[in-house]
Amino acid sequence: MPIDLVLEEVQIRKDSGDLPDLSEYQKRFPEWAEALANFRWTPSQPESKKVTSGLIELGPGQLIDDFRILRALGRGAFAQVYLARQESMQRLVALKVSTISSEEPQTLSQLDHPNIVRVYDQRELPAYQLYLLYMQVVLGGTLARVIRATKELEIHQLQGTQLLQAVDQALMEVQQLPPDRANHELNSMCWAATTAWIGAQLADGLQAAHDRGVYHHDVKPANILLSAAGLPLLADFNVSVNRTSGEESRSLGGTLAYMSPEHLSAAKNPSLSGSLDQRSDLYALAIVLWELWQGQRPWQSGLPAPDWQAALDQQSKLRLRPLELRRKDSTAAGGWLERVLRHALQPSPADRPQSCQELATRLRLAHHPKLAARFAPAEGTLLKRLVRTPVLLVTALIAFATNGPAGVLNYNYNRIMIIDKFEQMQAYFSATSTALNAIAFSFSGILLALFCWRVRVSLNRAQQGTAVAESDLDWVWRFGHRAAVVCGSMWLLFGIIFPMTMRYNQPSFGWQDFTHFFMSLAICGGMALIYPFFGISLLATYVYYPQLIAPTMRDPEFASRAHWLSRLTSRYLVLSAVVPLLAIGLLTMFQYHEYQENRAESANTLLRYLQVLLVGLTLIGLFISFQAHQLLLRVVDQYRDLFTERSSSR
């Protein structure tokens, strides 16, 4: 049997409270006798230890301090673990009765997270020289148990229900009634999605520990407990490192089969232990998830190594081998999960996700394959083509799609409704309109080009794997609004300049005509403001934003940006209804009476056609705006699900 499997068996026995004997294993595996002798068979004792002659055996019903014993859960060399009821709080706890004291409780009590087994407190019983460490009780078994129950099944036979069944069986073994599973979210998940669901929560827990300066350094299935609700919780931080306190444990510990390459190097050369960081825990978690998904670890040991150092060298070389799937997974979630785990299992820490928060976000994408495609669009897809197309070209097409027709409509409206009254102004009107439109479109184009250039620079930086600045992310979220403001501002500005030149050229061009002319440009400007906002905002959030955060999968200010855009898009939706209604009112207010009295019947007919046309365009535009508004909100909600850590109950 390979050395890593032998040591895994030893570790499982130790985790269950058994005390495996060195001589027994040396007789069973003589080829590993020397390597096994180098393995730590009993827990090392911290400098602050206090040891008695032995542990007190406690039976069901006995009371020790504030705790009534219900049953034994496991036994170690220096501790006995019981299921107990804390009388003062009337709650179930896991009670660790130990002969040693250490800094562990102070470190672990800082970790208050739904995916970390919570340590409540430690009490000392001086008369017995015992220490009582009481913590959250988790009775749903371990992830190792789930792996053993599912490793022989094919991928199409596995769903989230298998995990829940393993939890239920563990609960019944300790005489606990399993909860109702009818509406559990795991029921509808494929195995890859289930694995990602477990992994994202464990990554969240590790990130919470890392934020406190605590590293686990022994992430493995046996150290992952499952609650009655099926939620994974990290346990056994005994070999963690507390960077914030400046203290490191004397032994890095860890389990050979789950060590990262740099952890293996530190095991061979302890002077390298200071180089271990959160990416080592992340690597170990990726091995655990691969094992859960594929039914075995990514690499299997070959021929036995002659000694411990050789075993470490062998494991180090295994980490350089290409990953191969034991059981193919054709689901979309499986394809994305494979991509994420291959990234996390890169030999060099610099090539992996740089934090567990990033890993958690990537894993959550396994539940949203279509959303995942935005972060890594496939070749030949529309998304990929949009990313490669010059930002200015796409933006200009969206802006011109509204501004062009609005300009044509406004020109003909003003010519028919206003300028036709002044025959001597028609040539001047055409020439001035051409000149002002050229200036307006040129100036707007320059501003949009500057906006687009900044977006393009950010995209290029992200495509090179570089994290973009917060200001660049904010710019992309506000891109649609800024572009829309440029378009609308040009209409309003020239809505003043244009009629002023008309009045200057023709004194009979009165203030009523001036106001009519200005209002027509302002209303067209409103239309030119609304639709580019929706179009460019969708382009920015749906296409560009995922590319910008893909290198890190982090956006600390997402909540504020999402709130801002959600409020703004609702206001634009209101404008999409108000502006066309103003246009209809303009027709009635300024010209209806004049056409009734002074114009031919053909003009009255034209007026009615314009009113009908505006009503139709209002309905169509409102429908388009509403659909765009809903799509934008859906996009924001999808990102919110992605970046928001689930606050699962304990």
Domain co-membership, 196 together with 101: no
**Whether residue 104 sits in one domain with residue 152:** no
Mean pLDDT for the stretch of residues 445-465: 92
Which pLDDT belongs to residue 202?
A: 96
Is residue 9 included in any domain, yes or no? no
Q: How confident is the model at residue 205 (pLDDT cuts 50, 70, 90)?
A: very high
pLDDT in tens, 586-601: 666 655 555 555 555 5
| Count of domains for the chain | 3
For 423-442, give the DSSP string. Answer: GGGHHHHHHHHHHHHHHHHH
Q: Does a structural domain hold residue 40?
A: no
Q: Of the candidates 108, 99, 105, which has an alpha carbon nearest to the alpha carbon of residue 122?
A: 105
Higher pLDDT, 468 or 29: 468
CA distances from 304 to 29, 255, 570 (A): 10, 17, 66
Final residue of a domain: which of 367, 392, 427? 367
Q: Check whether residue 310 and residue 428 sit in a common domain.
A: no
Tokens of 532: 């580019």
- Res 599: pLDDT: 52
Q: If pLDDT is split at 50, 70 and 90, which confidence band does 624 have?
A: confident
Looking at the structure, do residues 437 and 327 belong to the same domain, yes or no? no
Judgement on whether residues 560 and 618 belong to the same structural domain of the protein: yes
Token digits of residue 517: 């002319």
- The residues near 475 (Cβ < 8 Å, ≥ 6 apart) are 454, 455, 458
Residue 194 lies in a domain: yes
Which of 253-257, 376-380, 450-454 is modeled with the greatest confidence? Answer: 450-454
Distance from C-alpha of 539 to C-alpha of 385, rounded to nearest angstrom: 12
Residue 247: per-residue pLDDT: 39
Residue 269 within a domain: yes
Most confident of 54-68, 141-155, 417-431, 491-505: 141-155
* Distance separating alpha carbons of residues 136 and 114, to the nearest angstrom: 11
Could you report the per-residue pLDDT of 80-104, keeping only the tens digit for each? 888 899 999 888 899 988 887 766 6
Q: According to the model, what pLDDT value does residue 14 have?
A: 58
pLDDT of residue 52: 38
The residue range of the domain holding 239 is 143-367
Last residue of a domain, one of 92, 108, 135: 135
Measured in degrees and rounded to the nearest 5, phi and psi for residue 131 equal -125, 135
pLDDT mean over 245-273: 72
Q: Are residues 201 and 330 in the same domain?
A: yes
Q: For 6-15, 357-366, 498-507, 607-616, which range has the lowest pLDDT when averaged over its residues?
A: 6-15
Query: In terms of domains, do 86 and 177 share one?
Result: no
Domain membership of residue 37 (yes or no) is: no
C-alpha span between 126 and 128 (Å, rounded): 5
Residue 94 and residue 221 share a domain:
no
Say what angle helices 332-344 and 278-294 make with each other, to 10 degrees.
Answer: 140
Could you tell me if 212 and 318 lie in one domain?
Answer: yes
CB burial of residue 432 (10 Å; 0-12, 13-18, 19+)? middle
Are residues 177 and 82 both part of a single domain? no
How is residue 46 written in tokens?
């911290």
Phi, psi of 142 (to 5 degrees): -110, 165
Angle (deg, nearest 10), helices 511-538 and 558-598 = 150
CATH number of the domain to which 224 belongs: 1.10.510.10
527's CB contacts (< 8 A; 6+ apart) are 402, 406, 579, 580, 621
Q: In this structure, are residues 191 and 329 in contact, taking their beta carbons and an 8 Å threshold?
A: yes
pLDDT at 50: 36
Does residue 12 form part of some domain?
no
Between β-strands 63-64 and 67-75, what pairing exists: parallel, antiparallel or unpaired? antiparallel
pLDDT beyond 90 at 250: no
In a domain, 48, yes or no: no
- Find which of 384-393, 410-419, 601-610 is predicted with most confidence, using mean pLDDT: 384-393
The residues near 571 (Cβ < 8 Å, ≥ 6 apart) are: none
Residue with tokens 């009519």: 516
**CATH number, domain containing residue 114:** 3.30.200.20
Q: What tokens appear for 485 in the block?
A: 């403001």
- In this structure, the answer to whether residues 461 and 530 fall within a common structural domain is yes
Give the per-residue pLDDT at 44: 42
Q: Which residue has the higher pLDDT, 361 or 616?
A: 361
* Residue % of the chain over a pLDDT of 70: 82
Q: Is residue 45 scored above 50 in pLDDT?
A: no
CA distance 337 to 195: 8
The stretch 38-66 carries a mean pLDDT of 61
pLDDT band at residue 190 under the 50/70/90 scheme: very high
* pLDDT (0 to 100) of residue 174: 78
Same domain, 100 and 148: no
Integer Cα distance of 407 and 491 in angstroms: 9
pLDDT for position 515: 82
Residue 459 lies in a domain: yes
User: Beta 241-242 vs 214-215: how paired, if at all?
Assistant: antiparallel
Distance between CA atoms of residues 322 and 342, nearest Å: 9
User: Is the confidence at residue 6, as pLDDT, over 50?
Assistant: yes
Confidence bin at 181 (pLDDT 50/70/90): confident
Task: Single out the residue in 90, 107, 135 at which a domain terminates.
Answer: 135
Q: 110 or 362: which carries more pLDDT confidence? A: 362
